[in-house]
Amino acid sequence: MPFYRKEKKKKYPYKLICEQDEIYGHTDDPRRTITSIWTLYKKHKKYICIDFGKIRKPEELCIKEHDNRQVTYTFKNKEINKEQFKQLLK
């Protein structure tokens, strides 16, 4: 009987900064995490960053909601549009 090793899923660190909360954690599915957070905190301003990089070379994908419900997407400290943001989450 062969022994099969269970494949480990990559964990991505993330942080959420909301008006009242500051949450740090790890996720194996960034898209699911962002969708859940966005739904749960829909009445608050929020800032979410997920790090796709290595320890010494961070590559943060961030989404920030402003006072007027305008949303800004950034990747590696450069502003991107919504379509590029969706592509990076796939």
Distance CA 30, CA 89 (A): 7
Span 5-30, average pLDDT: 88
- 24 pLDDT more than 90: yes
The pTM for the full model equals: 0.79
Q: Which residues contact 80 (CB under 8 A, 6 or more apart)?
A: 73, 74, 88
Q: What are the sequence ranges of the domains in the chain? A: 10-60
Helix axes 30-40, 82-89, angle to 10 degrees: 130
pLDDT in tens, 46-78: 999 999 888 788 889 999 998 888 999 999 989
CA distance 90 to 88: 6
